[in-house]
A and B are shown apart, each in its own frame.
Chain A
Amino acid sequence: MKKIEAIIKPHKLDEVKDALNALGVAGMTVTDVRGYGRQKGHTEIYRGAEYTVDFVPKVKIEVVVDDSIAEPAEHAILMAARTDKIGDGKIFTYDVDGAVRIRTGERGPEAL
């Protein structure tokens, strides 16, 4: 099993969700996060005053999938979240040692 963690632009969430649903990835954890990578922050000017946005709002998606669909899932996120602009985000993939569905006690891929 693999855990895929993607940091994406907020307005891309629905497209990414739809792309993962289409692959049969039903569950995901979504968190509102703020951060920066190469994008750094940016400066906005409002009513003549300048202010800096140090941390840019992003959405973090976490899904755990069976090894067999890890690559398609990663590709689906990549295609759905891409705008070809700086700040499109990152995708990280990790190995997952185990999973348990608490309600039923099922383990491994069955618990996903």
Chain B
Amino acid sequence: MESYLARRDEHIRSATPGPAAARALSDLTDEAVRALARTASSSLSGRWALMALGGWGSGALLPDSDLDLLVLSDARPEQLRPFVEALLYPLWDAGLHVGHQVRSPKQQVKAMRDDLTVCTSALTARPLAGDTSWGQDVMDRCAADARRRAKSLVPQLLERPRPGSPFLLEPDLKEGAGGRRDFDELVWVSAVLGGRAGAGLGPLISAGYLSTEDAEILDDCARVVSAARWECQRNGYGHRMSLDAANELESVDAEAVQAALARTATTLTRVRGTLGGETVAAPPRSPDELFELLVSGEGGREALETAAVEGALERMLPGMRALMSCRRPGLGHELTVGAHSIRAATLALHPPAGDPALSRSIESREDSRVLLAASLLHDGGKIESGAGHADRGAPLARDAAMRLGLSHKQADDVADLVRLHLLLVETALRDDLDQEDVILRCSAAIDRPELLAPLHALTAADSRATGLATWTAWTATLVDTLVSRLDVALSPESDGAGLASRGEAVRSATLELMDIASDAERRFVGDAPLRYLAGRTPDEVRRHGRLVAELAASPSATEVLIEVSDGPAPATAAVTVVAVDRPELLTRLSGAMALSGLDILSVDAYGGSSGIALDHFVVTSATARPTDTETFVKFERLARAALRDRLELAVRLEERRKHYPSRAKGAVEAKTRQRGWATELTVSAPDRPGLLHDIAEAVSANGLDIRWARVQTIDGIARDVFHLSDENGGPVDDAGVLGHVAMQIRAALRPR
């Protein structure tokens, strides 16, 4: 045994992986076991034969394979015991895994009838020692018996579970779908049909279940899988080709292994269908048939996988066969690229239960074919390795969509969806969805509102097809929240995409203008909200940046810096006020404006991320006296006084209203609603002195803050929009507080 073990170890270590190595290990083991049997049988009377079963019987012994032995004999048990012990103890002592059975010929026939595992292991039996012709004769009789029972036996063989998928990136090369057992099953069925143990695939070919070409392909596949199994086993990876094994074992061509597993699995599936009398689904021959299978969901998946592996989709989708074995592990992917894509496409129209937002996106899609094609083609760019597969895949997807009969417009939509397919999940998981700019930028990337619903559906399908752990309730909640906010941002009313594009353009142009600028100025421009930038010129932003930088250099809660320039219309002025952000800032500034004799025509108010707020007013004189330097000096003085709590704003405004009663008439309306990422307050009321002050005061009195405001006065009616936040800067969820704010505003603005 010692010599055998040494030669075995050396062979395992040095052999080139493949069927020849497995055959040589079988031969080596045959020789050792025969020698043991010769010694052990010296005192045995009666007929006996030693048979190798299973993989060993097939002459395909691998480093981790068990030695499955059958002792056939018509001797009595007490005569057999010393022989069996003398045979097995040395093997056990050598640390080999031995599976043994001891039976008479009659018992063997019965055991094969009673136990499917005994039956299958014997269908590849090979005589090793003893009376080999008698042993072969017994096994032939067993096989003939199996053939007589073929009608009941074959269906049992075809019911064998096939765990996993041949497209798994960490496939089980032995028991998993497409692995050794799939090949074995074909050999077993062949042996039963032919009534001959170890008959190979010949009887299956003769019976018309398998073509000669298929058999040759299967043999090639078995060779590839056998070589990979040998290499994995001798390096301690066992039966599974783990990601580590695929990366570290240079001699394992992992994509060739995937292709072999896939081809073996699809062939067995087809043979199973034919033997079982089932109608085997024909591969789709036209785009209509392809889309029909995709619409059917999970039920159509296997037929599509088979068609892709066997090349039947190449005319419509060139390169699909290569993708079926293309391995791009990462980000939780469990399947090859092609199998993942087919899975995504068959899931795309079938949302999981309990996700109402996703269901609405799928129901509201305008075009199923665009969504299905994008799902099927979204990872086409992975045929090349490296980052940027979404961008690479977009033009490929457009060409493929045209080949599938889609119009130019549909093909463009498919390409856009493919290009954007990572956007929602990456934004939802990495960015703060309460930040307006995050939503605006995302909406600018999507640009077209009609893409949002199919992009949501594609995102979910892609994630669900990636792996079990990828699309969880956790991820779904974040993506759904992002989608609902994008729905608002992309609406014509919000024009978030336009806002973001304009804002970014102003930011770039401003930065180009800033040849000489301090870090603080550059920081202001870099951090400025898109909504602010979109409404300003680059020159304005540059000037505002200087003001903010000046105050930031020595911030004081009671200081204001103002800049006055010509307004957008005759007799108007633009007043930019920069101050340290604080509660009631807008209340105080707007009160000071009113007391200075200024009517506020519009204001854009922004709370800056650096703690400095910037409010941009467009004002006009509230009287016939034109505004002049003195007006703004007065405003600056009153604003400072208001910030130092040295101005009774409410009292002074009430006095002013007595002298300047409002002549405009109209109803007062104040409404609040949630608008995606913001809590929006809209107020419509006849204009009068201190109107903005009163609204801002009602907001502040309820512990809320104005994050952004747009005030406009047209024909004496103010139509104001505010984005409110709570004391922590988030959207206001308390309906009671919002109701109270609206009520107070209505009461404050009611004509007296």
Closest to B673 in A: A45
A103 interface hit (Cβ, 8 Å): no
Encode A1-25 as 1/0 by CB contact (under 8 A) with B. 0000000011100100000000000
A102 interface hit (Cβ, 8 Å): no
Q: Specify which of B357, B474, B729 is in contact with A44 (CB 8 Å cutoff).
A: B357
When chains A and B are docked, how far (Å) is the Cα of A88 from the Cα of B663? 48
A92 interface hit (Cβ, 8 Å): no
Closest to B473 in A: A34
The listed residue with most B CB atoms (<10 A of its CB), out of A10, A40, A49, A55, is: A10
The listed residue with most B CB atoms (<10 A of its CB), out of A11, A32, A53, is: A11
Task: Indicate if the CB atoms of A53 and B477 lie closer than 8 Å.
Answer: yes
Task: Indicate if the CB atoms of B674 and A51 lie closer than 8 Å.
Answer: no
Task: Indicate if the CB atoms of B477 and A51 lie closer than 8 Å.
Answer: no
Task: Indicate if the CB atoms of B483 and A46 lie closer than 8 Å.
Answer: yes
Q: Specify which of B356, B432, B726 is in contact with A49 (CB 8 Å cutoff).
A: B356
Encode B223-266 as 1/0 by CB contact (under 8 A) with A. 00000000000000000000000000000000000000000000
Task: Indicate if the CB atoms of A83 and B432 lie closer than 8 Å.
Answer: yes
Q: Specify which of A45, A56, A85, A86 is in contact with B674 (CB 8 Å cutoff).
A: A45
Task: Indicate if the CB atoms of B432 and A32 lie closer than 8 Å.
Answer: no
Task: Indicate if the CB atoms of B733 and A9 lie closer than 8 Å.
Answer: no
Task: Indicate if the CB atoms of B477 and A11 lie closer than 8 Å.
Answer: no
Q: Specify which of B356, B477, B488, B730 is in contact with A55 (CB 8 Å cutoff).
A: B477
Known: A10-B429, A32-B472. A49 touches B360 (CB 8 A): yes
Q: Which residues of B contact A40 (CB under 8 A)?
A: 733
Q: Which residues of B contact A32 (CB under 8 A)?
A: 472, 474-475
Q: Which residues of A contact B212 (CB under 8 A)?
A: none
A59-89 residues with Cβ-Cβ distance < 8 A to B are 83-87
Nearest Cβ on chain B to A31's Cβ, whole angstroms: 10
When chains A and B are docked, how far (Å) is the Cα of A9 from the Cα of B478? 11
Nearest Cβ on chain A to B703's Cβ, whole angstroms: 13
Task: Indicate if the CB atoms of B430 and A11 lie closer than 8 Å.
Answer: yes
Closest to B485 in A: A44
When chains A and B are docked, how far (Å) is the Cα of A33 from the Cα of B430? 15
Q: Which residues of A contact B728 (CB under 8 A)?
A: 84-87
Task: Indicate if the CB atoms of A45 and B474 lie closer than 8 Å.
Answer: no
How many chain A residues sit at the interface, stated as a range, is 20 to 34
Known: A11-B431, A34-B474, A47-B364. A84 touches B480 (CB 8 A): no
Q: Which residues of A contact B296 (CB under 8 A)?
A: none
Task: Indicate if the CB atoms of A46 and B729 lie closer than 8 Å.
Answer: no
Task: Indicate if the CB atoms of A11 and B432 lie closer than 8 Å.
Answer: yes
Task: Indicate if the CB atoms of B674 and A57 lie closer than 8 Å.
Answer: no
B57 interface hit (Cβ, 8 Å): no
When chains A and B are docked, how far (Å) is the Cα of A9 from the Cα of B731? 16
When chains A and B are docked, how far (Å) is the Cα of A100 from the Cα of B596? 73
A43 interface hit (Cβ, 8 Å): yes
Task: Indicate if the CB atoms of B357 and A87 lie closer than 8 Å.
Answer: no
Closest to B726 in A: A86
Closest to A38 in B: B728
Q: Which residues of A contact B484 (CB under 8 A)?
A: 44-46
Q: Which residues of B contact A83 (CB under 8 A)?
A: 432, 729
Instruction: State the majority secondary structure of interface residues on B.
Output: helix
When chains A and B are docked, how far (Å) is the Cα of A49 from the Cα of B483? 13
The listed residue with most B CB atoms (<10 A of its CB), out of A9, A34, A85, is: A85
Known: A11-B430, A34-B477. A46 touches B487 (CB 8 A): yes
Task: Indicate if the CB atoms of A33 and B477 lie closer than 8 Å.
Answer: no
How many chain B residues sit at the interface, stated as a range, is 20 to 34
When chains A and B are docked, how far (Å) is the Cα of A74 from the Cα of B75? 78
Nearest Cβ on chain A to B26's Cβ, whole angstroms: 38
Q: Which residues of A contact B480 (CB under 8 A)?
A: 44, 46, 51, 53
The listed residue with most A CB atoms (<10 A of its CB), out of B360, B474, B478, B483, is: B474
B665-687 residues with Cβ-Cβ distance < 8 A to A are 674, 676
Encode B702-731 as 1/0 by CB contact (under 8 A) with A. 000000000000000000000000101111
Q: Which residues of A contact B472 (CB under 8 A)?
A: 32
Task: Indicate if the CB atoms of A46 and B429 lie closer than 8 Å.
Answer: no
Q: Which residues of B contact A45 (CB under 8 A)?
A: 484, 488, 674, 676
Q: Which residues of A contact B65 (CB under 8 A)?
A: none
Task: Indicate if the CB atoms of B477 and A9 lie closer than 8 Å.
Answer: no
When chains A and B are docked, how far (Å) is the Cα of A65 from the Cα of B429? 27
Q: Which residues of B contact A84 (CB under 8 A)?
A: 728-729
Q: Which residues of B contact A53 (CB under 8 A)?
A: 477, 480-481
B434 interface hit (Cβ, 8 Å): yes
Task: Indicate if the CB atoms of B733 and A47 lie closer than 8 Å.
Answer: no
Closest to A84 in B: B729
Q: Which residues of A contact B676 (CB under 8 A)?
A: 44-45
Known: A34-B477, A85-B729, A86-B730. A51 touches B356 (CB 8 A): yes
When chains A and B are docked, how far (Å) is the Cα of A21 from the Cα of B676? 35
Nearest Cβ on chain B to A83's Cβ, whole angstroms: 7
Q: Which residues of B contact A43 (CB under 8 A)?
A: 674, 733
When chains A and B are docked, how far (Å) is the Cα of A14 from the Cα of B728? 23
When chains A and B are docked, how far (Å) is the Cα of A51 from the Cα of B726? 21
Closest to A46 in B: B484
Q: Specify which of B364, B430, B474, B730 is in contact with A85 (CB 8 Å cutoff).
A: B730
Nearest Cβ on chain A to B529's Cβ, whole angstroms: 15
Q: Which residues of A contact B488 (CB under 8 A)?
A: 45
Q: Which residues of A contact B430 (CB under 8 A)?
A: 10-11, 14
Task: Indicate if the CB atoms of B726 and A46 lie closer than 8 Å.
Answer: no
Nearest Cβ on chain B to A43's Cβ, whole angstroms: 6
The listed residue with most B CB atoms (<10 A of its CB), out of A9, A40, A47, A84, is: A47
Closest to B481 in A: A44
Q: Which residues of A contact B726 (CB under 8 A)?
A: 86
The listed residue with most B CB atoms (<10 A of its CB), out of A40, A45, A46, A86, is: A46
Encode A99-111 as 1/0 by CB contact (under 8 A) with B. 0000000000000
When chains A and B are docked, how far (Å) is the Cα of A49 from the Cα of B360? 9
Nearest Cβ on chain A to B683's Cβ, whole angstroms: 21
Show 13 residue pairs from A and B whose CB-CB distance is below 8 angstroms, ordered by the A residue: A32-B475, A39-B730, A42-B731, A43-B674, A44-B484, A44-B674, A44-B676, A45-B488, A45-B676, A46-B357, A57-B477, A83-B729, A86-B730
The 6 tightest CB contacts between A and B, nearest first, are: A86-B728, A46-B484, A44-B484, A32-B474, A85-B729, A86-B730
A residues contacting B by CB (< 8 A) are 9-11, 14, 32-34, 39-40, 42-47, 49, 51, 53, 55-57, 83-87
